[in-house]
Amino acid sequence: MSVLAAHITKHFGAYCALDDVCLNVGTGKLVALLGPSGSGKTTLLRIIAGLEHADAGCVALHGVDVTRTPAGKRRVGFVFQHYALFRHMTVNENVAFGLEVRSRSERLSKPEIEDRVRSLLKRVQLEDFGARFPSQLSGGQQQRVALARALAVEPKVLLLDEPFGALDARVRKDLRRWLRHFHDEIGLTTVFVTHDQEEALEIADEVVVMNDTRIEQVGTPQEVYDRPATPFVYRFLGNVNRLGLPWRGYEPESSLATPDGPGAIFVRPHDLTINRYSVGLVGEAGLIRNIHAAGARVSLACERSFDAAPVDVELSRAEFDTLKIRVGDPVLLRIRRNKTLREEYAI
């Protein structure tokens, strides 16, 4: 089942939430909509589900235009950020809800519904919790009940809004691996919204990076991380240094100059190397300001002598140990690998 959203525009009063957004999700994919808050990602998800209506544009599920189809008839499973479990119903009743509200002709018999509920709860590993109320469950359990409830109506597409947002760090990590595994098992086309880049990069087949009402880039996690299309994507996915040109020892392939100046390049902290300062070596001069050595990798906060700009460098512990540098030492910074991006000038 594929999801297609074409030229979606949405305003809330004077506020523009989505501006001519196009999204195409392939059948069976697990896709992350990644962006900061206010980028329009949740609105896009709700429009696909039919919980909001776009001012312009259309939505198609598996080639069928559903722009005017009400949410309940789209066969879309939606899991809300705070789960939205029915608090006055038990877990069993929650999961059965979608089956029981069907019209009499489509409704399954009572034993069939009970069977379906039982197998769904088993699938999300909650078979012993059917008689409990949502308030008696932990966040991770509630999340899985919400998932089972959404799956009960046999949706063609599964949409998850910030599925791990309300959970603590530990549960979050476990649950996102579980979701990836779960997705591989059932093979349902799934779109989830997140603002956590680590989450998106870890489990998604494809990442859609959104910013300020638009899509910035679509690609596999590796593509968007290694070859960001815009400065925003570069900054949003992992740490990055913006180094103003000229930089000693670096020649851009083409001029990056903008009306504001000679331009800049973007380099990730682990794509920079450090040498002790010595005459004859080529590199940009700087000072070590801070060393953060707790962990597998060592982060160094440097200051570029040319314009006093901060530059972050990340080294492996072995590299750091052979260097024998301390705070305050003069160093030479060199670029291992970079991505040249022409910046859009500030208006």
Partner 1 sequence: MAAIPSRHLARRASGSATTDPLWARLALTALALAFVALFLVLPLAAVFTEALRRGLGAYFAALAEPDAFAALRLTILAAAIAVPANLVFGIAAAWAVAKFSFRGKSVLLTLIDLPFAVSPVISGLIYVLLFGLQGWFGPCLAAGNHPWLGAWIDARDIQIVFAVPGIVLATVFVTFPFVARELIPLMQSQGTDEEYAAISLGAGGWQVFRRVTLPNIRWGLFYGVILCNARAMGEFGAVSIVSGHIRGETNTLPLHVEILYNEYNYVAAFAVASLLALLALATLVLKALVERRHSRALAGANAG
Q: How far is the CB of 52 from partner 1 (least distance, A)?
A: 10
Q: How far is the CB of 25 from partner 1 (least distance, A)?
A: 18
Residue identified by tokens 């460098």 is 313
Interacting residue ranges for partner 1, rule: CB under 8 A: 49-51, 70-73, 76-78, 80, 82, 84-89, 97-98, 101-102, 133, 135-136, 149-150, 152-153
Can you tell me the distance from the alpha carbon of 165 to that of 186, in angstroms, rounded to the nearest whole number? 23
Can you tell me the distance from the alpha carbon of 336 to that of 314, in angstroms, rounded to the nearest whole number? 12
Q: How far is the CB of 87 from partner 1 (least distance, A)?
A: 7
Can you tell me the distance from the alpha carbon of 46 to that of 74, in angstroms, rounded to the nearest whole number? 12
In the bound state with partner 1, the residue whose beta carbon lies nearer, of 164 and 236, is 164
The alpha carbon of residue 125 and the mean position of all alpha carbons in its chain are separated, in whole angstroms, by: 26
In the bound state with partner 1, the residue whose beta carbon lies nearer, of 130 and 231, is 130
In the bound state with partner 1, the residue whose beta carbon lies nearer, of 107 and 248, is 107
Measured at the alpha carbon of residue 124, what is the angle toward residues 122 and 126, in degrees to the nearest 5?
60
In the bound state with partner 1, the residue whose beta carbon lies nearer, of 151 and 332, is 151
Q: How far is CA 165 from CA 1, 2, 63, 173, 289, in A?
A: 26, 25, 31, 11, 35
Q: How far is the CB of 97 from partner 1 (least distance, A)?
A: 6
In the bound state with partner 1, the residue whose beta carbon lies nearer, of 157 and 243, is 157
In the bound state with partner 1, the residue whose beta carbon lies nearer, of 112 and 184, is 112
Q: How far is the CB of 62 from partner 1 (least distance, A)?
A: 18
Q: How far is the CB of 159 from partner 1 (least distance, A)?
A: 9
To which H or E segment does residue 236 belong? helix 231-236
In the bound state with partner 1, the residue whose beta carbon lies nearer, of 72 and 262, is 72
Please check whether residue 257 is in contact with residue 323, taking contact to mean a CB–CB distance below 8 angstroms. no
Q: How far is the CB of 44 from partner 1 (least distance, A)?
A: 16
Residue identified by tokens 């409704």 is 107
Indicate the SS3 state at residue 219: strand
DSSP 67-118: TTS-GGGS-EEEE-TT----TTS-HHHHHHHHHHTS-TTTPPPHHHHHHHHH
Here the tokens at position 159 are 């949409």
Q: How far is the CB of 183 from partner 1 (least distance, A)?
A: 19
In the bound state with partner 1, the residue whose beta carbon lies nearer, of 84 and 171, is 84
Asked if omega into 246 is within 30° of 0 (cis), the reply is: yes
Measured at the alpha carbon of residue 12, what is the angle toward residues 6 and 15, in degrees to the nearest 5?
95
